[in-house]
Amino acid sequence: MTRLDTLAPAGREPATAAACCALAKTPVSVAESERLAPIFKALGDPVRLRLASLIAAAPEVCVCEISPLFELSSGTISHHLKTLREAGLVGSERRGTYVFYWIEPEVLGSLSALLAVDCC
**Interacting residues toward its own copies by CB under 8 A:** 23-28, 30, 33-34, 36-50, 52-54, 56-57, 103, 105, 108-109, 111-118
Give the long-range contacts of residues 90-94, CB within 8 A, separation 24 or more: 90/52, 90/55, 91/12, 93/10
Query: Considering the complex, what minimum distance in angstroms separates the CB of residue 84 from its own copies?
Result: 12
Residue 59's closest CA among 100, 98, 95, 87?
100
Question: According to the binding rule CB under 7 A, does residue 90 interact with DNA?
Answer: no
52 touches, from DNA, its own copies, none (C-beta below 5 to 8 Å by class)? its own copies
Residue 27 φ then ψ, to 5°: -55, 135
Rounded to whole angstroms, how far apart are CA atoms 12 and 24?
A: 32
Among 55, 80, 102, 104, binds DNA (CB under 7 A): 80
Cβ pair 49, 43 in contact under 8 A:
yes
Q: Which does 97 bind (CB under 5 to 8 A by kind): its own copies, DNA, none?
A: DNA
Q: Which residues would be at the binding site for DNA (CB under 7 A)?
A: 1, 41, 44-45, 47-48, 62-64, 67, 71-83, 92, 94, 96-99
